Structure formats: structure tokens, C-alpha cells
Amino acid sequence: MELKSLNDETRWSYRLGERGSLHAPLLIATLLLTTAGFGIWGVMRSWQNTMKLQLRLDRCVGEAALEFRNRLYIIESANTRIRALRIALAAATIKPILKPPLKVALTIEAARQDYQIARWKLKQADWLLKRGCGKPGDLALPLPAFQWTRLPADPIGQQPLSWPGEYPNVFRFQAAHFPRISAAQVHPSQKGGSFNGKPSAHWATPVGS
């Protein structure tokens, strides 16, 4: 009886050993899969954060470039109208009754330009204050400036804006937050950058990359 009992216990212990030897590889496999899962999750999380960062920079830079493009278009268009109004006012055949409204229109166009330039200067100051896109760790190139000047009014009225020196072929915009960077550029319409009658804006290769 004692031998039988001992044999039964031995067989039961053996079965426990067999079961334990089966559980060990499963446990190791589970640990490996869990570790791999955490690794993949970490990679996906990092990728998601990187994409969010890139989208934030792209949105910030894109909005600045489009705002500049729109203001540039308004200023350039007003310059064209100012020249046309001055030609009309200087015409010897123009009726005197038409001169006052033409001069008012000339003054309005000049004021429109001055307003756009003033608003952009505020944007430049805000951009510098926020270091570009407004988050800690952001870095950015200064926004391009409108360098137009206007000569004093003559007997005809307000004069068009003029750009000192050569007019730029492109205006650049760039912001960064390690490890991502975003850049765009605006091509003036008078430099062949017209798109649907406006200066064109495009994504660009970052400076220094």
C-alpha cells in the first residue's frame, strides 16, 4: 500500500514537472510578445508625437506665408491702381469735375497700402516675441519685411510705393522645433510667381538642411 501511494505521488510530481516545463516557454513567449508590444507602442507613440509637431509647424509657417502673400497682393494691386489714377489725373483732357473723386481714390489706395504694411509689422513683432510658432523650444527665422518706401505727394497726389534696390525673387518663411522643421516661400507676381493673379506660395526646402 505504501509503495502504491509512493508511486502515485511520484507520477503526480512527474506530471507537475511536465506541466511546468510546458508553462516556462509560454511564459517566456508571453514576456517577449509583451515587451515587443510595448516597443511597438512606444514607436507608434513617438511617430504620432512627431507628426503632431510637424503639422503644428506646417500650419504655423503656412498661415504666415499665406498672410504675407495676401498682403503682398493687395499692396501690389494698389500700386497698379495708383499709377493708373496718376496717369488719369495728369491727362490734360480730363474734366476738372472728375479730378476730386480721382484724388480721393488715390488717397484711399495709398492708405490701403499703409494699413497692410502696418498690420504686417505687428505680425513680425508678434512672431519675434513668440519665437515663431509660440511653443517653448520653437525657433524661427525672422519674417520677411515689406521694405517699400513712398516719396512725398506731388501736385498730382500720392505716389506709388517703390522698393529700394532689387526686388526680391522670393520671400522665405521657416520655423523649427527639434527634430522637425517647416519652410515655405512666396514668389512675387512681378517676378513671374503669379498664380491665379496672385503671388504664389509653396512649401520649400528648409535653409541649412
Residue 16: inside a domain: no
Handedness of CA 190, 193, 199, 204 (dihedral sign): negative
Range of the domain at 198: 61-203
Classify residue 120: in a domain, yes or no. Answer: yes
d(CA 57, CA 6): 76
Of the candidates 123, 122, 139, 136, the residue with the CA atom closest to the CA atom of residue 183: 139
Q: How far apart are alpha carbons 115 and 137 in whole angstroms?
A: 32
Per-residue pLDDT tens over the stretch 49-59: 899 999 999 99
d(CA 160, CA 81): 9
In Å, what is the CA distance from 100 to each residue of 84, 94, 97, 156, 169? 15, 11, 7, 11, 38
What are 95-141's pLDDT values in tens digits? 889 899 999 999 999 999 999 999 999 999 999 999 999 999 999 99
- Percent of the chain at pLDDT exceeding 70: 75
CA atoms lying within 13 Å on the CB side of residue 10: 6
Q: How far apart, in whole angstroms, are the C-alpha atoms of residue 82 and residue 114?
A: 13
Q: How many domains does the chain divide into? A: 1
Does 101 map to a domain? yes
Gap between the Cα atoms of 150 and 146, Å rounded: 12
**Is 41 among the domain residues?**
no
Kind plus residue range of the DSSP H or E element containing 171:
strand 171-177
Instruction: Please say if the pLDDT value at position 193 is more than 70.
Output: no
Query: Is residue 2 assigned to a domain?
Result: no
